[in-house]
Structure 1
């Protein structure tokens, strides 16, 4: 919270570090000897959001909803089909690789699997020091000292410099991956399921490490996860994705205490509750059927085939992502916990613009 906010003054809208508008990624489906395109998998289909400096944006949703693809588009590991990605005021949507190389210093990614993301033939020193060598910004003599300092920063022994990945546990390997991400002092880190492959006790350690690093190094995160408890702990704002689209975007407190989209309510009802009394009183929402194929998504609202509130308008008119409360955007004709004065089914298209919210 800024000093102005503590004094009760109105805080100015922070400038977005990353702005995404209408982002799309369609994977072609080909057939025959000539590889003629007959369809396309709409992995990401019109996603818009902002990420502000110093905050953590959590992205949640079922497997196959497009979270990982979106993360790889942001880091430009994949070429977007359409839309716009603006980082620090510069359009990087279709920036050529020659110009992207310097940008790699500012945007880094933590991968999901700590086992397959590290080259088993390379030592820890070679893995963590690789960004220095690729970018050509450190001499070979100074790389070892820099790498050992970073290993110590993420909670590893600097003497592990000459060891190989197979000599470490899963949590230690993820720390090595985080160390590699930090070498170039990035401004934005996209973490793709950074703790899903780890034991529960180790998950807490890695999540706390990410928070400590953010405070110490002034990092900005986009955390992709399916564990809503982890997202609630670490995120400032949360975006809920379903079948290639963001269906709800709000600050953490608003989303968890008063979710509006039926899909978000279903996800929340599945979160384990340690208190037996509260668990007994909670209503479990069980969605019918599987997630539709992104190869042929349902028309209009993509959730209407599984939604208990769906009506005829949901099958004909796609609800845009609009702001119904301060800092709370939702794409639904019949949202739950809607503010007073909202008329169900009366959602009109509008550009939400930058999201006005307080970041920590």
Structure 2
């Protein structure tokens, strides 16, 4: 992983509220708080895994980063430039450096276009000319992702799901981006194909010095591919840590519950593990619970959890957690950057 004093990507208190309107005049009567004040950095060359239950705001976060949707508030920095409210015209050259792999390999490819047209589209849109022509460049990219260069004139319906996802990855790599947002890149694939695509992403990262934000709900996939992991719950980041720290010593009760559901092949280890079953449904993002949003389902919740929102506090190790009563915390108080003490 490349080290740099300045993060490639930085989000500060980013929010996305989708308005709810009513009546003929479209009067706003509320808002869906899909992303509600998240902050994190992504270093060059690393893979940040973004995990959480369906509806927690993961995909919305990915679309905010790539500016496919407009943020309501906050700041998004890419390579030191503020892109939060950058116009589409100014964003166009930046899109060479930021690309997205979409979740569904069936709906993300135009069935009327050939593979050559799909993978070659970024060259045409950005007006990029290559030394030996677009066709040669596209065939080289197809070979890079494990496809036959002779597939150039074939159509998406002629390929399997795994092959289609490779076509999507090839299109993403066409202009050699610096940052790739992978939104559930293997969830629509068979298990055997998932491993192939994950290994492909890792090989491409090492070869091309790519930076990934991998959005997923499969914690096993995230553990395999990520350097750091951020856990989302109901529009908020509740924990961020290095992969090893988070999987071996989770601190937020929500993270602990998620990890307790991950299948373990070792029968002896599985026998000694307690499965934590969360009670109730995920609250509505239209009217989320006050203070700690997890307190309605948390077995450790006390009065302070219902009245005071816990800050995303940081330990000396870099482990960050938003919880008044974190698990597995070292002796002493955990402090956030403002100096607010959180009981361990």
TM-score between both structures, scaled by the size of structure 2: 0.96
Matches within 5 A, 1:1-360: 14-138=5-129, 142-342=133-333, 350=338
Determine if contact 1:320/1:349 at 8 Å carries over to the other structure. Answer: no
Preserved contact between residue 319 and residue 348 of structure 1 (Cα < 8 Å): no
Query: Does the residue aligned with 1:319 lie in a helix, a strand or coil?
Result: coil
Q: 1:272 to 1:164 in 2, by over 3 A?
A: same
**SS of residue matched to 1:73:** helix
Structure 1 residue runs without a partner (length 5+): 3-11, 353-360
Query: What SS is found at the alignment partner of 1:247?
Result: strand
Structure 2, unpaired ranges of 5+: none
1:178-226 superposed Cα distances (whole Å, 9 cap, x missing partner): 0000001000000000000000000000000000000000000000000
**Contact 1:320–1:350 (8 Å) recurs in 2:** no
Q: CA RMSD in A?
A: 1.6
Query: Are the counterparts in 1 of residues 111 and 156 from structure 2 also a CA contact under 8 Å?
Result: yes
Tell me the secondary structure at the aligned position of residue 200 of structure 2: helix
Q: How many residues align?
A: 340
Cα distance in 2 for partners of 1:212, 1:97 equals 32
Counterpart secondary structure, 2:106: coil
Rounded Cα–Cα distance in structure 2 between residues aligned with 1:100 and 1:200: 36
Question: After alignment, is 139-148 or 114-123 more displaced?
Answer: 139-148
Whole-angstrom distance in 2 between the partners of 1:275 and 1:264? 21
Q: How many Å apart are 1:327 and its aligned residue?
A: 1.4
- Distance in structure 2 (CA, Å) of the matches to 1:238 and 1:335: 17
| In structure 2, distance between residues paired with 1:181 and 1:251 | 27
Could you report, residue by residue, the CA deviation over 1:263-314 in whole angstroms, capped at 9, with x for unpaired residues? 0000000000111121111000000011101000000000000000000000
Q: 2-side partners of 1:114 and 1:325: how far apart?
A: 41
The list of structure 1 runs, each at least 4 consecutive aligned residues, that deviate by more than 6 angstroms after superposition, is none
SS class of match (1:336): coil
Q: For 1:90 and 1:180, how far apart are their aligned partners in 2? A: 25
- TM-score of the superposed pair, with normalisation by structure 1: 0.92
